[in-house]
Amino acid sequence: QVQLVESGGGLVQAGGSLRLSCATSGRTFSIGAMAWFRQAPGKEREFVAAISRNGGNTDYPDSVKGRFTISRDNAKNTVYLQMNSLKPEDTAVYYCAADRSPSVTRASTYDYWGRGTQVTVSS
Report whether 68 contacts 18 (CB < 8 A): no
In angstroms, the CA 101 to CA 11 distance is 33
Chain CA centroid to CA 38, Å? 8
* pLDDT tens digits, one per residue of 32-89: 999 999 999 999 999 999 999 999 999 999 999 999 999 999 999 999 999 999 999 9
For residue 88, give Cα distances in angstroms to 83, 99, 119.
13, 29, 10
* pLDDT tens digits, one per residue of 73-104: 999 999 999 999 999 999 999 999 999 999 99
Closest CA to 81 of 111, 15, 36: 36
In angstroms, the CA 58 to CA 14 distance is 25
Report whether 24 contacts 46 (CB < 8 A): no
